């Protein structure tokens, strides 16, 4: 694997770990708001991001590439509302999609077919990630001004359970 691509993969690992950190911060925000269903949803999201980082790490190990972890920045810790938190999550997922697309483009440019094929899973996953978060954003917009709807959504989101799976066919 070319050095530039190795560095880009290591950068993406850091992005995925920071994503988990952001969602862990949102867990705390929702717990402080007594929205335990929202917190559970974000906890599952944090675990999913750790799984993404682990997939990237395992892939680099398989390719004999050194993994170099960098410092993770401090995430936001408060939002104006549950909607604002989920809008921030959606914006972040769009950012991660852009990062994955750039990494894929670099893999193609580097003529690294194996890396390109490996990254296909992440591209598909990001489409699902954006859609999942956007669905909650749209539901929260519909629930504005209706506290009962917020509590129903809180209960629904609490049904999501974390899945820690490093299998690339996930």
Q: What is the pLDDT of residues 38-80, one digit of tens each?
A: 999 999 999 999 999 999 999 999 999 999 999 999 999 999 9
pLDDT at 167 over 80: no
Q: How far apart are CA 97 and CA 88, in angstroms?
A: 14
Q: How far apart are CA 77 and CA 51, in angstroms?
A: 22
Tokens 């190795």 map to which residue?
6
pLDDT at 94 over 90: yes
Whether residue 66 is contained in a domain is answered as: yes
CATH number, position 58: 1.20.1260.10
Mean pLDDT for the stretch of residues 91-109 = 98
Whether residue 44 is contained in a domain is answered as: yes
pLDDT at 134 over 90: yes
Whether residue 163 is contained in a domain is answered as: no
3-state secondary structure of 147: helix
Whether residue 162 is contained in a domain is answered as: no
160/10: higher pLDDT: 10
3-state secondary structure of 91: helix
Share of the chain above pLDDT 90, in %: 90
Q: Which range among 23-32, 99-108, 111-120, 146-155 shows the weakest confidence by mean pLDDT?
A: 146-155
What predicted TM-score, i.e. pTM, was given to this entire model?
0.91
Sign of CA dihedral 38, 145, 152, 92: negative
pLDDT at 83 over 50: yes
Whether residue 124 is contained in a domain is answered as: yes
Range of the domain at 124: 3-71+79-157
Whether residue 88 is contained in a domain is answered as: yes
pLDDT at 164 over 60: no
Structural domain count, the chain: 1
Band of residue 100 on the pLDDT scale cut at 50, 70, 90: very high
pLDDT, residue 168, reads: 42
């Amino acid at each position: 694997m070319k050095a530039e691509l190795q560095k880009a993969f290591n950068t993406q690992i850091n992005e995925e770990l920071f994503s988990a950190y952001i969602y862990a911060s949102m867990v705390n925000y929702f717990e402080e708001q007594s929205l335990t269903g929202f917190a559970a949803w974000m906890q599952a999201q944090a675990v999913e991001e750790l799984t993404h980082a682990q997939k990237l790490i395992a892939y680099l190990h398989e390719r004999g590439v050194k993994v170099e972890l960098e410092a993770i920045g401090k995430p936001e810790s408060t939002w104006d509302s549950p909607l604002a938190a989920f809008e921030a999550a959606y914006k972040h997922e769009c950012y991660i999609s852009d990062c994955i697309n750039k990494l894929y483009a670099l893999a193609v440019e580097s003529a690294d077919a194996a890396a390109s094929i490996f990254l296909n899973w992440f591209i598909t996953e990001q489409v699902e990630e954006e859609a999942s978060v956007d669905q909650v954003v749209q539901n929260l917009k519909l629930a504005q001004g209706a506290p009962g709807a917020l509590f129903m959504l809180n209960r629904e989101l609490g049904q999501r359970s974390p899945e820690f799976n490093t299998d690339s066919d996930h």
